Structure 1
Amino acid sequence: MKDLSVPKANIGKFKDSYVTADGAMRASVALSHPETLWFNTGTLCNIECENCYILSSPTNDALVYITAAEVCAYLDQIEARQWPIHEIAFTGGEPFMNPEMITMTEAALARGFDVLILTNAMRPMMRTSMRAGLKRLETAYPGKMTLRVSLDHYTPAQHDRERGADSFDKTLEGMRWLRDTGLRMAVAGRTFWNETEAEARLGFAGLFQDNGFAIDAQDPGETVLFPEMDETVEVPEITTECWGILDKSPKDVMCASSRMVVKRKGAATPAVLACTLLPYAPEFELGKTLAEAEASVQLNHPHCAKFCVLGGASCSS
């Protein structure tokens, strides 16, 4: 696994959880309105992307498959803690690699939650058992599932550059099946192609129209365009004064409304993290329970600044 420590570009920064390099008070974010609980289904994936932030691959099992029983235990905790969660979200790795994916999804749907599944819509999702399960759940809980498909770009050349030869065509095959089955779709793209956001959305709009995909390219909740998460880029630390300077509220940051559950290889039980983007940073592991995960989060990582506070990005729907 590559070195995940703070890069030289930010030398001297992000060392103290409470104080920035220049001695200012570091900003923190309280869990003010929990809306989404994420489950990482495991880091195993059918492909290995060029710039995967979580290093998913066919061999990386640093985060092992979470089980349906473990998911249900956290659903019980949501009820016990009276968290106003409306969405259960699954990410990976590739979620459909997990053999209990359909069971976990059904457990969340049966309790009335909306479900968001992040997928590359390739072979794992297209297995007969997974397609049958998705079709059955859509019939039983119509409109309650959204599958957000990773489509880095609207052209095969750029998408395949990140995800491997023919991956674009395989993903489009899966999306057409989702379309024909009536499952709700969204898309997650990227924004590092030397084009403006307006140009990117126009390109996705053409692709969606050509394929009859009911996805709004102009809606940032349906077509999510993520900035590149390059930890070698110099970024500012976020202080308590930044909220006023940026005219931004800590309630707008992703860790104000979500947490993620992971199961580390060799661990007896899952753990709850502050952020979906920092699965390997020990400082952002809050404990084993949702009660422990109610603690505030110190914004002590480059991603906190570039991706969330300054970039305004969010993984939730």
Structure 2
Amino acid sequence: MTIPAALPAERPPAKFRDPARTAKGERRAAVALGALRTLWFNTGTLCNLACANCYIESSPRNDALAYLPAADVAGYLDEIRRDGLPVEEIGFTGGEPFMNPDMPAMLEDVLGRGFRTLVLTNAMRPMMRHKDRLAALNAAHPGLLTLRVSLDHYGPALHDLERGRGTFEKTMQGMAWLMEQGFAVNVAGRAAFGHEPEAVLRAGYARLFAARGIPLDASDPVALMLFPEMDPEADVPEITEACWGILGKSPDSVMCASSRMVVRRRDARAPTVLACTLLAYDPQFELGTTLAEASRPVPLNHPHCARFCVLGGAACSR
């Protein structure tokens, strides 16, 4: 007698495929834009470093997001003014923003219009090439400009493992110069890097700041932001409409409830507005070419939405 082979088990539907429904058929959570408070500009994915785990895959060779020209920034600032949008803060990210030759001009435009401004940087040679103009802009617009310096770990060994040999000291030198010049500075680290509890990480950064004479409070979550790791292989749950009540969390606390990001793709004829700073390559998060078009709700249809924003509790702005 022949025993029939067992039928293969039916595979569950893949997660993060349908913007309206989860793999289990539940209604996927979506986040409405309550008010546009922070507008990010990605200055381009080119960077002076090739980190082991870059959120956006920046490197000295990745120009998938081209250098954003100053004229693009001016156009969106004009739209904010024309439509009376409640934007309070302008953020610049990359890549390394100071690789972009238009960065000083973009800062001058944004600061000249009175916006609070945040720049994410590794504080290395690209930034220092602009140090004279940067110092002049900070002096001309006191209290408006903040530099957030990427320092993945309080110890040079783990930081350099991520960013390359010798980068820790070069970043510390750049941060020391910023402090000497009176810039507002905060630090971005990685919460799970080295697998230390948050309290241990903050204590380590506190020792570093004290030893280097850096007047930052490592217990302050703004002065020292610790971002979750973005392991693309990790399995994360999909966020349903019911999750808000289960987690005791409001949709208003998620980045895309109050922010958008402008990018210019390589060879594109115009810039485009994305839902957030982390989802630079997924076309479903392209919301249009204007801020008005980009005001529609965002379905949380990506693992980063769960891992970073809802469950990780991270936000890129202050």
- TM-score above 0.5, yes or no: yes
Q: Tell me how far apart the structure 1 counterparts of residues 172 and 60 of structure 2 sit (CA, whole Å).
A: 21
- The answer on whether the counterparts of 1:187 and 1:222 sit within 8 Å (CA) in structure 2 is yes
Q: Which residue of 1 aligns with 2:147?
A: 147
Alignment of 1:114-133 (within 5 A): 114-127=116-129, 130-133=130-133
Q: Tell me how far apart the structure 2 counterparts of residues 213 and 93 of structure 1 sit (CA, whole Å).
A: 25
Q: Tell me how far apart the structure 2 counterparts of residues 211 and 143 of structure 1 sit (CA, whole Å).
A: 23
Q: Tell me how far apart the structure 1 counterparts of residues 22 and 101 of structure 2 sit (CA, whole Å).
A: 44
Q: Once the two structures are superposed, what CA deviation does each residue of 1:251-294 show, in whole Å capped at 9, x if it has no partner?
A: 00010010000000010110000010000011001010001110
SS in 1 for 2:51: coil
In the alignment, structure 1 residue 206 sits paired with structure 2 residue 207: yes
Query: After the TM superposition, which parts of structure 1 deviate over 6 Å for at least 4 consecutive aligned residues?
Result: none
Q: Which residue of 1 aligns with 2:294?
A: 293
Shift of 1:81: 2.6
Q: Tell me how far apart the structure 1 counterparts of residues 296 and 215 of structure 2 sit (CA, whole Å).
A: 39
Q: Tell me how far apart the structure 1 counterparts of residues 85 and 206 of structure 2 sit (CA, whole Å).
A: 36
Alignment of 1:145-224 (within 5 A): 145-192=145-192, 193-224=194-225
Q: Tell me how far apart the structure 2 counterparts of residues 144 and 24 of structure 1 sit (CA, whole Å).
A: 44
SS in 2 for 1:89: strand
Q: Which residue of 2 aligns with 1:231?
A: 232
Shift of 1:11: 6.5
Aligned partner letter, 2:136 = R
Structure 2 length as normaliser, TM-score? 0.95
Q: Which residue of 1 aligns with 2:241?
A: 240
- The answer on whether the counterparts of 2:124 and 2:174 sit within 8 Å (CA) in structure 1 is yes
Shift of 1:208: 1.2
Q: Tell me how far apart the structure 1 counterparts of residues 292 and 213 of structure 2 sit (CA, whole Å).
A: 44
Q: Once the two structures are superposed, what CA deviation does each residue of 1:59-108 show, in whole Å capped at 9, x if it has no partner?
A: 11000111111101000111223221111000000000001111101111
In the alignment, structure 1 residue 29 sits paired with structure 2 residue 31: yes
**Long gaps (5+) in structure 1:** 1-9
Q: Which residue of 2 aligns with 1:70?
A: 72
Q: Tell me how far apart the structure 2 counterparts of residues 307 and 231 of structure 1 sit (CA, whole Å).
A: 11
Q: Which residue of 1 aligns with 2:135?
A: 135
SS in 1 for 2:260: strand
Q: Tell me how far apart the structure 1 counterparts of residues 202 and 252 of structure 2 sit (CA, whole Å).
A: 27
Shift of 1:34: 1.6
Shift of 1:207: 1.1
Q: Tell me how far apart the structure 2 counterparts of residues 316 and 63 of structure 1 sit (CA, whole Å).
A: 21
Q: How many residues align?
A: 306
Q: Tell me how far apart the structure 1 counterparts of residues 88 and 279 of structure 2 sit (CA, whole Å).
A: 23
State the identity %: 61
- The answer on whether the counterparts of 1:114 and 1:145 sit within 8 Å (CA) in structure 2 is yes
- The answer on whether the counterparts of 1:145 and 1:184 sit within 8 Å (CA) in structure 2 is yes
Aligned partner letter, 2:317 = S
Q: Tell me how far apart the structure 2 counterparts of residues 36 and 24 of structure 1 sit (CA, whole Å).
A: 31
Q: Which residue of 2 aligns with 1:94?
A: 96
- The answer on whether the counterparts of 2:13 and 2:23 sit within 8 Å (CA) in structure 1 is no
User: Which one of the candidate residues 47, 51, 54 is aligned to 1:52?
Assistant: 54
Alignment of 1:256-275 (within 5 A): 256-275=257-276
Q: Tell me how far apart the structure 1 counterparts of residues 240 and 81 of structure 2 sit (CA, whole Å).
A: 34
RMSD: 1.0
In the alignment, structure 1 residue 61 sits paired with structure 2 residue 63: yes
Q: Tell me how far apart the structure 2 counterparts of residues 117 and 142 of structure 1 sit (CA, whole Å).
A: 15
Shift of 1:306: 1.1
Q: Once the two structures are superposed, what CA deviation does each residue of 1:12-71 show, in whole Å capped at 9, x if it has no partner?
A: 100100000011000000110221100000000001000002111111100011111110
Structure 1 length as normaliser, TM-score? 0.95
Q: Tell me how far apart the structure 2 counterparts of residues 11 and 97 of structure 1 sit (CA, whole Å).
A: 42
- The answer on whether the counterparts of 1:185 and 1:214 sit within 8 Å (CA) in structure 2 is no
Q: Tell me how far apart the structure 1 counterparts of residues 271 and 54 of structure 2 sit (CA, whole Å).
A: 22
SS in 1 for 2:77: helix
Shift of 1:237: 0.5
SS in 1 for 2:25: coil
Q: Which residue of 1 aligns with 2:7?
A: none
In the alignment, structure 1 residue 38 sits paired with structure 2 residue 40: yes
Bigger radius of gyration: 2
Q: Tell me how far apart the structure 1 counterparts of residues 141 and 36 of structure 2 sit (CA, whole Å).
A: 23
